[in-house]
A = this chain, B = another copy of it.
Amino acid sequence: MSLDTVNQTACFGGTQGVYRHPSTVCRCEMTFAVFLPAQARKVPVPVLWYLSGLTCTHENAMTKAGAQAWAAREGLALVFPDTSPRGEDVADHEDYDLGQGAGFYIDANQAPWQPHFQMRRYIRDELSALVLGQFPLRAEAMGITGHSMGGHGALTLAIENPATYRSVSAFAPICHPTASDWGRKQFTAYLGADETAWQAFDASVLMRAHGYDGPVLVDQGGADNFANLLMTESLSKAMDARGQAGQVRLHEGYDHSYFFVASFMAEHIAHHSKILHAV
C-alpha cells in the first residue's frame, strides 16, 4: 500500500503528519492525519481514532480539538480520517449534510453513492490496515472517539467491533439517526427506503441490543443548537436499559463547537489512555 506525505512537522515533542493514499474501498484519493507522540520513536504506542463531523475534513480536529497536548503526555497516537470520499468523480449533493463531507461512516448500497461511499469499511478495514502497517502502533490497543456525526461513527463502530476498538467515547454524538433528520435523510439515500437495513448504524439501537464491553464516555453541551437532532436522551435510555457502564454528561453553557470538544478532550484522552495502556 502506498502513502504520500503531504506535510509533517514537530508537534508537542512528537510528529503531526498529513498523508494521502489511493483508496481501493472508496475508489479515490483519501487524505488523513496522524499524530505520533515522542514515545513512538522507541516503542509502538496505543492509538485513538478521532472521527469528525459533518462538513469536516481530516483537518478540523487536527487543528482545533487540542488533542495532541494530552496525547503527547499519555503516549497515545491519534488518527484523523476524512469524513467521506472526495473528488470530481465522486457523487455529491448541494446540501451540506449529504454527499462529500457527510459519509456518515456507513457503507452505501444505493446509486449514485455505492461506488465510493464505503466509509465504514474504509475506516475499519482499509485505513486501519494502512496505518498499522506504516506507523509504530499497537494494533491490539486501539480506541475510538468522534464528534457529532463522528460520535455516531465512533459509537457504532465500537459496539459492532469491540475486539477492534477497546475503548470508546463521543462528543455530542448523533445518538439515534434512524429517528432524526440527521440520519433518516442520509440512510434513505445511502441505504434505501427499507429501514431494517438502517438499524445496524444506529448507536441507540445497537446499545440496547448489544451494549459495549467497557465504560462508555459521552459528553454533551447544554447549549447545543443541534440537541433535537442528536437525541442524546435515546442513548442514555438505552444505556440505562442495558445497564451499560459509563456516563452521559451534560455540560451547561457549551455549544456544538470545537471549544466544547477541546474543553473535555483531556478527560477523553485520559479515559482511553487508562484502558488502552492496560491492554
- Residues of A that sit less than 8 Å from B by CB: 9-13, 15-16, 63-64, 66, 68-69, 221, 223, 251-255, 257-260, 262-263, 266
How near does chain B come to A31, taking the closest CB pair, in angstroms? 17
Q: For A68, what are the chain B residues with a Cβ–Cβ distance below 8 Å?
A: 259, 262-263
Which of these, B64, B69, B258, B263, contacts A10 with CB under 8 Å?
Answer: B263
How far does the alpha carbon of A259 sit from the alpha carbon of B223 in the complex, in Å?
A: 29
Q: For A254, what are the chain B residues with a Cβ–Cβ distance below 8 Å?
A: 9-11
How far does the alpha carbon of A24 sit from the alpha carbon of B212 in the complex, in Å?
A: 59
| Closest Cβ neighbor of A253 among chain B residues | B10
| A69 adjacent to B12 (CB under 8 Å) | no
Which of these, B12, B221, B223, B263, contacts A262 with CB under 8 Å?
Answer: B12
| A9 adjacent to B257 (CB under 8 Å) | yes
| A251 adjacent to B10 (CB under 8 Å) | yes
Q: For A258, what are the chain B residues with a Cβ–Cβ distance below 8 Å?
A: 63
Which of these, B11, B13, B223, contacts A9 with CB under 8 Å?
Answer: B223
| B64 adjacent to A263 (CB under 8 Å) | no
25 A-B pairs, CB-CB below 8 angstroms? Answer: A9-B253, A9-B257, A9-B259, A9-B260, A10-B221, A10-B254, A10-B255, A10-B259, A10-B260, A10-B263, A11-B254, A11-B259, A11-B262, A11-B263, A12-B262, A12-B263, A16-B259, A63-B64, A63-B258, A64-B64, A66-B66, A66-B69, A68-B259, A69-B69, A69-B266
How far does the alpha carbon of A250 sit from the alpha carbon of B15 in the complex, in Å?
A: 17
Q: For A251, what are the chain B residues with a Cβ–Cβ distance below 8 Å?
A: 10
| B63 adjacent to A263 (CB under 8 Å) | no
How near does chain B come to A57, taking the closest CB pair, in angstroms? 15
| Closest Cβ neighbor of A12 among chain B residues | B263
Q: For A12, what are the chain B residues with a Cβ–Cβ distance below 8 Å?
A: 259, 262-263
Q: For A266, what are the chain B residues with a Cβ–Cβ distance below 8 Å?
A: 69
* Residue among A12, A13, A253, A263 with the highest chain B CB neighbour number at 10 A: A263
How far does the alpha carbon of A212 sit from the alpha carbon of B266 in the complex, in Å?
A: 36
Q: For A66, what are the chain B residues with a Cβ–Cβ distance below 8 Å?
A: 66, 69, 262
